[in-house]
Amino acid sequence: MPLLVCATPIGNLEDVTLRVLAALRDADVVLCEDTRHTRTLLGRHGIEARVLSYHEHNEAARTAELLPRLVAGETMALVSDAGMPGISDPGARIVRAALDAGVEVTVLPGPSAVETALVASGLAGGRYRFLGFLPRGAKDWDELAGVPFASVAFESPQRLPATLRSLAEADPSREVAVCRELTKRFEEVARGTAAELAGRFSEPPKGEITLVIGPAAAVAADEGVALAAVAELVEAGVPRRRAAELVARVSGIARNRLYRGSL
């Protein structure tokens, strides 16, 4: 029987798929990053299930304990507190072990803070880079200096002011979006330059933070050329949205920006 890797809501408990609910209902055991958190989700949808903790502090031991049970035929559903297990959350170890042991692994997609923030930022294009959790302490922004597409990262609210000040010192005009409490009651998406947002978030905000950093400024200088390319494609008969998408892929400029700019 399979290991079912289940994406769960990043905030609003209604943002869960029917497949995930069925998996949680039918599994022999649900592996949870925080059993209390997962019981809230299960209770909201009327699901009674056996739950077992599986988090960063017991991941190695739990994997060794659970793998024989998977091989023997138990069905297990793996969840984290939010989003997809294994993406900046526990889960990668047991997935790798299950695959190596010949156990079927099925991934059930669902909510993603990364993609939600990227689209909400208005900085989405054909490509992006996911940085995971930003390192503690001083940040090295040199690697993003010439990146022609958006980058997405997780940051703690306590460290956000220092992170924005650091980015503003390195590249004050860089476009940034601070996405806070996504899909929750007090969701906020603050957009602006690094310098503007460093001033706005001089104190730590409340809630979970996803940070979107726009393309390097050098790319913006080529926007006129990119818009001209979109216009040429449209004149040649290519639908405007498709033209913007094609040019975004090669220029790194956000597709929505090219589409709006070409109107």
Which residues does the chain have with pLDDT short of 70?
1, 217-222, 252, 254
Domain ranges within the chain, ordered by starting residue: 3-108, 113-216, 222-262
Two structure tokens written together for 251: 């220029």
pLDDT at 17: 97
pTM: 0.78
204 touches 217 (CB < 8 A):
no
Backbone angles phi, psi at 21, to 5 degrees: -60, -40
Q: Could you tell me which residues come within 8 angstroms of residue 80 by beta carbon, excluding any fewer than 6 positions away?
A: 8, 33, 89, 90, 91
Distance CA 74, CA 1 (A): 6
Distance CA 174, CA 148 (A): 12
What pLDDT shows up at residue 219?
53
Give the architecture (CATH level 2) of 3-108: 3-Layer(aba) Sandwich (3.40)
150-155 and 175-180 as β-strands: parallel, antiparallel, unpaired? Answer: unpaired
Amino acid, res. 227? L
Query: How far is Cα 36 from Cα 93, in angstroms, rounded to an integer?
Result: 22
User: What does the pLDDT read at residue 145?
Assistant: 79
pLDDT of residue 216: 82
Q: How are beta strands 29-32 and 128-133 bridged, if at all? A: unpaired
Q: Into which CATH architecture does domain 113-216 fall?
A: 2-Layer Sandwich (3.30)
Question: How far is it, in rounded angstroms, from Cα 8 to Cα 108?
Answer: 9
